[in-house]
Structures are given as structure tokens and as C-alpha cells.
Amino acid sequence: MVINGRDPSALATTEGDLRARGIDVVSVAGSMEDDATPSRLVEAAREHFGRIDHLVNTIGGPHFAGSFEVMDKAGLVDTVALNTWPTLALIQAALSGGLAEGGGSVVNISSGAPRKTTPSMVAYAAAKAALNALTRTIAADLGPRGIRVNAVSPGLTKTSGTKGLWEADEGRDAGAKLALGRLTEADDIAAAAAFLLSDDARQITGVLLDVDGGNHLAGGWSPFRAT
């Protein structure tokens, strides 16, 4: 396994944890917004393991958060670029590095945001919608080469980056609003990605898999009422 992150210290800790579990892992520090990072990751995989079988893209986030009324061009363009270009660049690099040699699989981490109309997340929702379109189109393009491309769409998930939204009560209130009554955890996303990478999903490509405790089932207003 080759892993990447911007913080060398956190990356080294994660590498140590994985090695303690018996996983052969190499870490490559650097931002995915650096155009050199995708090729460095591919080179590390080829050098240490001789091949590339699977690819998971987790990069994303809002460069701009706020209403469309105060959003400038850079806020929108930079957010779309962050959530699309590093993913596309790494897929391109992996293809040149041999991803298609024996068939392969790609999982992109998207979001349920494109289904929402949260005013402060308009740029992020647009960016993830673009990623979803890329995922489906690339899946169609690479299918004949034996490569599957899918995406996982989380809702609010318990991670270090979202602590402010769930830490006070360990996510009980947010989880209670979901159909399954429990807030999504990082392991739930990882399990879905592992499934989509595996041979158990060998007939699945171009799919956007919601892993959100049923958040996507939330209904809207209707004039009709159950009797």
C-alpha cells in the first residue's frame, strides 16, 4: 500500500500503525495540489511493489464556504479544481504507471452534497457533482480496458475534520436524524471502498454508492399527508 498526506508526522504515525497490523506500506508526503505528487505516488508503487492494482482518491474539501451571493470566481473555480483535478491527475498517472496491465479498480470519495441545497456549501456541491460526472464518464471510457471506476458518497462522517459538528455528544443528535439512527464513521466509508475495489464487485462500475446512514432518503415538503 502507498499512502499520501500533507503532514509528514501524521503520515509517519499512520504508516507505523499499518505496519503494526502486518501491512507492507510506503508513505509519500506532499499535497495533491502539487502537480508532481501523482507521479511520485505512482513511482513509489512501481518501485516498492512492482505494480498498481487499486487506487482510492480521498482529496476534497471547500476552498470556499458561503452563499453564492458573496462567492467570487476564485472561490468557485478553486473548489471545483480541488475536488476534481488531483483525482483526475492521479488516475492519469496510474494508467501510465500500469494500472490497466491486469485490470484495476478506482474508487473516488465523493459526497452527498450535490443532492442538497445547503447555501454555504454551493461551491462544494458543484465540485462534487463534477467529480460524479467524471467518475461515470471515466468508468465508461476505461471499462473496455478492464478497469472499474466507482465512487462512495458519504454524508456527515465522524472524522477529525468534522469534530466540531459531532464532538459535543459523540454524534448522537446528528445520528438520530438518520434513517439508521447512527452517525457514519470512517470505517464505514473504508469498508465500502474496500468492497468496490474487491473482486466481489467485479461487475460494478460507474456507480455512486451512498454510505450515509440513509441521509439521502430524507424527504421534502409535500401537500399530501399519510392517513
**Counts of helices then strands in the chain (DSSP H, E):** 7, 8
Kindly report, residue by residue over 28-76, the tens digit of the pLDDT: 999 999 999 999 999 999 999 999 999 999 999 999 999 999 999 999 9
Give mean pLDDT, residues 115-120: 90
User: What per-residue confidence (pLDDT) applies to 166?
Assistant: 85
Residue 60 CB: number of other CB atoms within 10 A?
Answer: 21
Mean pLDDT in residue range 185-191: 96
* Per-residue confidence band for 195, with pLDDT thresholds at 50, 70 and 90: very high
Q: Give the domain ranges of the chain.
A: 51-214
Q: Among residues 59, 75, 109, 124, which one is catalytic?
A: 124
pLDDT at residue 223, rounded to an integer: 59
Q: What is the mean pLDDT of residues 108-113?
A: 95
Is a pLDDT exceeding 90 seen at residue 147?
A: yes
Return the CA Rg of the chain. Answer: 19
Q: Check the CA dihedral 200-61-188-32 and report its sign.
A: positive
CATH number corresponding to 51-214: 3.40.50.720
Looking at the predicted structure, is the pLDDT value of residue 158 above 70? Answer: yes
Mean pLDDT of 64-91: 96
Better-predicted residue by pLDDT, 227 or 53: 53
Q: Active site includes 154?
A: no
Please state which of the ranges 114-123, 134-143, 160-169, 199-208 shows the lowest mean pLDDT: 160-169
What is the model's pTM? 0.92
Confidence of residue 224 (pLDDT cuts 50, 70, 90): low
Confidence of residue 128 (pLDDT cuts 50, 70, 90): very high
Q: What are the start-end ranges of the H helices in 21-157?
A: 37-49, 73-96, 122-142
Q: Is the pLDDT assigned to residue 220 strictly greater than 70?
A: no
| Average pLDDT estimate for 129-156 | 97
Cα angle 85-86-87, degrees, rounded to a multiple of 5: 90
Over residues 173-195, the mean pLDDT reads: 93
How many other C-beta atoms are found inside a 10 Å radius of the C-beta of residue 105? 24
Q: What's the pLDDT at 161? A: 82
User: What's the average model confidence in pLDDT over 135-147?
Assistant: 97
Per-chain mean pLDDT for the chain: 93
DSSP of 98-109, one letter per residue?
Answer: TTTBTBEEEEEE
**Predicted pLDDT of residue 100:** 83
pLDDT at 142 over 80: yes
As beta bridge partners, residue 153 has: 210
Reply yes or no on whether the pLDDT at 221 is more than 80: no
